[in-house]
Amino acid sequence: MAADSGFVENWQSGRNVAESNLHMLKTEKYCDVHFRVGKQETTVRAHRYVLISRSCVFEAMLCGPLAERDPIRISDVDADTFSELLTYLYTNKVHLTPENVTGLLYLAKKYAVGGLENLCLAYLEDCLTPENACLILEHAHKFDEKDLYDKAFDRVIAFGDVSFGNESFTQLCHECFDKVILVDDLSIKAENVYLSAIAWMEAECARKGREITPRNLRSILGETVYGIPFTSMDKEFYVDNVVPRGILTDAENVKIMSCLLCPEKDPSPFIRRSAKPTHNVVFYKEHRKMPQTRKRSFWGRTDVSCSHDIILYGISLYGHNQNKDIVYHIRICDRAANFRDVKRETVFPLKIKPSGGNNILQYWLLEPRFIKRNTEYFIYIEMEGGAPTHEGDPKGVVETVTVDQCTVHKLSDIAYSSGHVNITHGLVIGV
């Protein structure tokens, strides 16, 4: 660009092709194509030559008898995502994030940009976890990506207690919902299948503009209702949660209650699915009695890792005598996180009797937690309401416990203050 002095700005010097292209895009130098993007119709400018050279779809849009008039309106994505597409076309590089990857995959398919499509699919596969598996499953179904769909589907059914509990489960289409509910080897507690199905049905009612009533919920669920494992539920849970909801008829309730009371009864047309097995991982085989103390709170931290991905359902903890009301708060995080930034949750005891005179109870997490393999996790426990009667004795510690093919490692306890005791007795896990 000519300056008043008559000299030309040498912005090209020192830049490679990609850097020069990006400079042209960012500064809008000599742009000859205008887009109006998103609902706000944000103006985005680009260069005809680059678009034509990188996409046959853009070539058809910009050249020949079917060429669109300037400005070209792109209403189905936001301006930031479309600009990231342009950055890739100009530089062959892209900044993928969980927020933009599906939008970029959509654009890559729409404009036949195969390299970007492959990058998006690889990113989704690499970041696939039980927490986002339903979201990725739905996108893979929408984009007809079978390999990604199969990987996400396997993740959902292997870690159903985590995947079903995520909000993205309620966003599944009817076809995907039916498939994950009806699969034979779904790994999830029966009660959680029902609670997640109710949440999905309510969301589906909202999407269809229908009132949330027992009749409408049952209508939306259809014959998939027979795939919900009612006969594997806790009897009290069934009476307190399923019966009052009214999605089953009186005759169906009688049939299921008969099976809950007499397991040999035939539940058809409802399926009979085995309850999700859990395993107790015990770290202390020996205990020591705690001295008398006036303290009202204690804390403990146990570090663990696993050789395989698992689900953490609960923790067995040392407490006071049976007449004391003790409240436990828990934080769970991996080493990369700051435990003080992790939300603290209160856990509640299962309906079991304490273990002998050591007063050990199993406590259930409000939401099952996914524990990634070969990753160190910190488990912080805060105990309020009194002192434990016992604690784990390091002389009787078990450093590794194997369940099926998974080995759980107890790495360490933190014991450097008077308020710390070995409160964590063990873990309740699903493999």
CATH number of the domain encompassing residue 60: 3.30.710.10
364 band by pLDDT with thresholds 50, 70 and 90: confident
Q: What is the mean pLDDT of residues 407-428?
A: 79
Question: Do residues 371 and 298 share a domain?
Answer: yes
Q: Is the pLDDT of residue 350 over 70?
A: no
Q: Is the pLDDT of residue 387 over 60?
A: yes
pLDDT for the residue 353: 53
Tokens of 101: 């990857």
In a domain, 157, yes or no: no
Each residue's pLDDT tens digit, 102-119: 999 999 999 999 999 999
Each residue's pLDDT tens digit, 33-90: 999 999 999 999 999 999 999 999 999 999 877 788 888 999 999 999 999 999 999 9
Burial label for 229, CB within 10 Å (0-12, 13-18, 19+), is: buried
In a domain, 397, yes or no: yes
Tokens of 332: 């769970």
**End position of a domain, from candidates 261, 291, 308:** 261
Work out whether the CA dihedral 350, 352, 353, 359 comes out positive or negative: negative
Distance CA 141, CA 175 (A): 9
Region of poorest pLDDT, from 15-19, 104-108, 214-218: 15-19
State the chain's maximal CA–CA distance in angstroms: 96
**Domain range spanning residue 25?**
17-126
Q: What is the mean pLDDT of residues 1-18?
A: 71
Q: Is the pLDDT of residue 358 over 80?
A: no
pLDDT for the residue 294: 66
Region of poorest pLDDT, from 14-28, 74-88, 139-153: 14-28
Question: Do residues 234 and 369 share a domain?
Answer: no
Work out whether the CA dihedral 208, 211, 217, 218 comes out positive or negative: negative
pLDDT for the residue 376: 93
pLDDT for the residue 360: 86
Q: What is the mean pLDDT of residues 6-26?
A: 84
Question: Do residues 247 and 285 share a domain?
Answer: no
In a domain, 213, yes or no: yes
Phi/psi at 209 (5° precision)? 70, 30
Question: Do residues 108 and 195 share a domain?
Answer: no
Question: Do residues 312 and 408 share a domain?
Answer: yes
**End position of a domain, from candidates 126, 143, 166:** 126
Report yes or no: 60 and 66 within 8 Å, Cβ to Cβ.
yes
1 band by pLDDT with thresholds 50, 70 and 90: very low
Question: Do residues 253 and 379 share a domain?
Answer: no
In a domain, 320, yes or no: yes
pLDDT higher at 373 or 352 = 373
**End position of a domain, from candidates 235, 261, 287:** 261
Q: Which residues contact 95 (CB under 8 A, 6 or more apart)?
A: 84, 87
Each residue's pLDDT tens digit, 276-294: 778 889 999 888 888 776 6
Residue 305 CB-half CA count within 13 A: 9
Q: Which residues contact 7 (CB under 8 A, 6 or more apart)?
A: none
Each residue's pLDDT tens digit, 230-280: 999 999 999 999 999 999 999 999 999 999 999 899 999 998 877 677 888
pLDDT for the residue 417: 55
For residue 94, which of 112, 120, 74 has the smallest C-alpha distance?
120
In a domain, 208, yes or no: yes
pLDDT for the residue 357: 66
pLDDT higher at 296 or 58 = 58
Question: Do residues 286 and 250 share a domain?
Answer: no
Work out whether the CA dihedral 120, 60, 91, 97 comes out positive or negative: negative
Q: What is the mean pLDDT of residues 333-360?
A: 72
In a domain, 355, yes or no: yes
pLDDT for the residue 427: 92
Question: Do residues 422 and 293 share a domain?
Answer: yes
pTM of the model: 0.78
Question: Do residues 24 and 101 share a domain?
Answer: yes
Q: Is the pLDDT of residue 189 over 70?
A: yes
Question: Do residues 320 and 386 share a domain?
Answer: yes
Number of folded domains in the chain?
A: 3
Q: What is the mean pLDDT of residues 194-198?
A: 96
pLDDT for the residue 56: 94
Instruction: Determine how β-strand 400-403 pairs with β-strand 406-413.
Output: antiparallel
Q: What is the mean pLDDT of residues 151-156?
A: 94
420 band by pLDDT with thresholds 50, 70 and 90: confident
Instruction: Determine how β-strand 72-74 pairs with β-strand 33-37.
Output: parallel
In a domain, 419, yes or no: yes
Question: Do residues 242 and 113 share a domain?
Answer: no
Phi/psi at 346 (5° precision)? -95, 135
- What percent of the chain lies above the pLDDT cut of 70? 93
Question: Do residues 33 and 66 share a domain?
Answer: yes
In a domain, 163, yes or no: no
Residue-averaged pLDDT of the chain = 88
323 band by pLDDT with thresholds 50, 70 and 90: low
Q: What is the dihedral of CA 54, 57, 60, 62, to 10 degrees?
A: -60
Q: Is the pLDDT of residue 355 over 70?
A: no
